[in-house]
Amino acid sequence: MLPSTELGVPADSTTQQVNRCLDDLKEMAWAWSQIFPQAESPAQHWLKVLSQVQAHLWEDCLRVAVVGTVKAGKSTLVNALVGHDVLARGAGILTAMVTRVISGSEPQAVLRFKGWEEIHGEVAQSLGLLPNDRLVERASPLDLRNDSDRELLSQILADGETAGYWRGGSLNQDYLLLKAYLEGYPLVADYLSQGSLHTLVGPSLSSHQELVSRQATAVYLKDVSLTIPSPWLPVGLELGDCQGSDSPMPQHLAQVLTYLLRCDLVLYLVSSRVGLRQADFHFLGELKRLGLAPYIRFIINLDLTEHRNLEEINSLIKRSGEEISAVVSGAALYAFSALKLLFERRQERGEKLDTPEGALLSVWAGKGGMLAFSDSEAQRFSADFTGAIQKLRSQRLSGGSLAQARMVAKGLAEQLGLVQDLLSRDQSAFQELAQRLRERRQPLEATRHSIKQTLKGAGDHLKQVLKGQITGALDLQSGLASSLAGFIRGYEPDWRELVPPENARPFRLLLYQMFQEFQKEVGRFVAGEFTRQVLEFIRAQETQVRQELAQICTPLSLALQEALTLYYREIAALGLAASLAAPALEFPPPPQNLELPVMTFQVEQGWRWAGEAYVRSGLEVFKRAWRYVKGRLGVKAVTDPRAQVLGELQRALAAMQTWFLEQARLQVLDYGERLKFRYFFPLIDYYARKQEIDWENYLGSLVADLAGLAAATRQAEEERRAGLARLQELIPRAQAIERQLSEGYEISVE
C-alpha cells in the first residue's frame, strides 16, 4: 500500500495515483505559504480541502454483501477472500447480525451487544402465553441480571421440556433462544456491565472468535465488525457475511435486506450439493424488486468431495445458469471451491494446515480435472472481482471528492500565475487591479450568504414534506402498513395441525402455540413483504430528496457561476489564461454512518402479563353468555371436545388479532418517527451542509487573497526575484496535476 502523509488509503491503482496528486498539491500549498507568508490563507484553505479529500478516500468504504441460503458456505467464502480463518463456519441460526469484515492495516474487532431492553423483550416474546404457573405469579418480566430470575427461567425450560411445550422439541427456536440467553449470561456479563460497545485489540482480539461462534454468546451480539489486514483485498473494502436468506428467524431477513440496500456489490453463493432451491428463487425475487439485480455475482461453491467428475460439475453449472437467467438475466456465474481457495491463501501466508485439512487436500489431489477447473475459476473470479472493485472505486472518485481536488489544483495554478503577473507590475498598477477585483468579490459574498439561507429554508421545507409522506405511507388504513393490518386480520392457523383429530394437548398449551406461531408469522411478514415495500419507499424518497435539492441548488449554482464569471473577466484582463469551471453539484448515496432503522414486530412485555388474563376472561364471559343465549333459544350445546376447543381458540385468535393490530399501530408509529428523525432529517441536513461546504471550498480554492498579495508586491527586489523563480517551478506542476485530475480519472458510469 502506498504510504500517505497522514492517512492510509485503499491500495488500488486509481486511489494510489489520486493520493500522489493530493500529496503533491499539499506540498505546493505548503510552498505557497513559505513563499508568501503574508498571504497564507489560500494555502490554509487548500490544505484543509485536501485533508478532507484524503479523509474521504480513507473513510469511503465499498460494501460487498455475501448472501445465500443457510450452509451455502458464506463464511468460508469471506474467509477465503480475506485469506484468514476469521469467521466461524456454520454459525448458529440464532445469530441475528451481519458480520462485517473490513480489510485494514491494524487488526481489531468491534463488538456491539444488544441492550437489556431488547434482550428482555425477546425473552418475554418467547415466553408469551407460556402455560407455566410459575409465570402467572409474577408481576413483572424476567430480568436475566437477577440470579432468581435466571433460576426461574431454568426451571421453566425444564418444565417445558417435560411437558412438551415446544413444537419440534429441543430444535424449537423459542426454546433455543431462551436456552442460549440463559447459558450465555455468565460468559457475557462482564462485557454487558461495561457498556454495549467493545473494541478488542492485541491479545484480547482472539476472544472474539469464541464470542461469535458460540451460540450462547452470539445471541447477545447485535453487530460485529472485524478489521483484518489482507494482501488480496484493497484497504477499506467491507465484506458483509449475511445470515442465511432462509433463516427461520424473521428479523434476519429484514436486517439482510436493509444492509443490502447500502451495498455496492452482492456475491450470491449457491452450494453445489443442493443447487438452487425455492428459498433462493424467493430471495432473488426480493433482490430484483429492490433493483439489486445488476450488482449480483453468482458463485457455485463446489464441494470437491461430493462430485464424481468434471462432467457432473459442468452439468450443474449449465442447469444453475439456466435457472438463474430465468430470474436475473446476464448475471456473471463462477464455480469454485471456497474452502480450497481458503487453504491456498492460508498456506501463501505461511500458515500450516492442520491434519484433517491436509488430508482433505490429499483427497482432492486425486481429482485432477475438477481441481484444475476450480483453480481456474477462482482465478477468473479474483480477476473480475478486483476489476469490479477498481471500477466502483473509480466511479466514486469521479464525483465530489475528485472535483474538490481539481478545484484546488486549478486555484493553485491560476493564483500562482496571478501572483507571477502581479510581482512583475508596479505598485500603482496593482492597486488599480486590486480595487477592480474587490468590486467583483462583493457579488460573490452576497451570493454565498443567499446560498446558505436558501439551503436552510429548503431543508426545513423538505422535512415538512417528508413528514407527511412518511406518515401517509405508514398509515395502517390506507398506506403501506395497510398490508400489515390486512395480514393480521386475515391470519388463520392450520387448525388441523394445531388441533389434530385426536388432540391430547391441554387448551393452555394450544393457546401458547397458536400465539407463538401467530407472532412469528407476523414477524416474517414484517421482515419480508413489509420491509421490501418500505425499502422501496425509502429508495424512492431518497431519490426525491436528491432531485428536490438539485432543483433548488441549480439556480443557486448558476447565480454563483455568474458572479464568478465577472470575477474571472477581471482576471482575464491580466492576460492570464484561465477557464471558469462549473461549481460542483453532487448528492451522493447516503453516508455509511447513517444507518437505516430496521422494522421488527415484537409484542410488548405487557401482553404476557396482562394479555393472557384479557383473552381468558374474555373467553369465559363469552362462553357463559353464549350458553345462556343458546339455552333460551333451545339450541343443543356443542359436546364435541375438539369443536369446543376450536371454538375457544377462534375466539382467542380474534382477541389476539385485536391486540396485534394495536401493537402494529404503535410499532409502525414508532418506526415512522425513527425513520424521520434518525434517518431522513439527518440525511437532508447532511446534503444541505455538504453542498454548502462544497461551494465554500469551490470559492475558497479559486478566489485570491488580495490583501496578502498586496503585501507580497512590496517585498524587496531580491525576495521578489526568488519568489518569481520558485513560481516558475510550481506553475507547470500545478497545471499538470489539474490536467491529470481532469482527464485521467473521468470514468463513465454504465
Question: What band does 564 get if pLDDT is binned at 50, 70 and 90?
Answer: confident
Contact (CB, 8 A) for 211 and 110: no
Say whether pLDDT at 506 is over 90. Answer: no
* Domain definitions of the chain by residue range: 13-57+399-743, 62-105+230-393, 115-228
Sheet containing strand 99-103, edge to edge, reads 197-200, 108-113, 221-228, 99-103, 237-241, 62-68, 265-271, 296-301, 332-336
- Read off the C-alpha cell for 502: 385426536
User: Region 617-641: what's the mean pLDDT?
Assistant: 56
Tell me the pTM. 0.81
Indicate if the alpha-carbon torsion angle 568, 573, 574, 575 is positive or negative: positive
- All cell numbers assigned to 656: 389476539
What's phi and psi for 110, nearest 5 deg? Answer: -115, 115
Measured in degrees and rounded to the nearest 5, phi and psi for residue 517 equal -65, -40
Q: How high is the pLDDT of residue 678? A: 93
CATH class of 62-105+230-393: alpha beta
Closest CA to 470 of 540, 394, 421, 529: 540
Which stretches does DSSP call E strand in 167-236? 197-200, 221-228
pLDDT digits (tens, 9 = 90+) for 314-365: 999 999 999 999 999 889 999 999 999 999 999 999 999 999 898 998 889 8
Question: If pLDDT is split at 50, 70 and 90, which confidence band does 495 have?
Answer: very high
Among 115-124, 400-409, 475-484, 590-599, the minimum mean pLDDT is found in: 400-409
What is the separation, in whole angstroms, between the first and last Cα of the chain?
Answer: 29
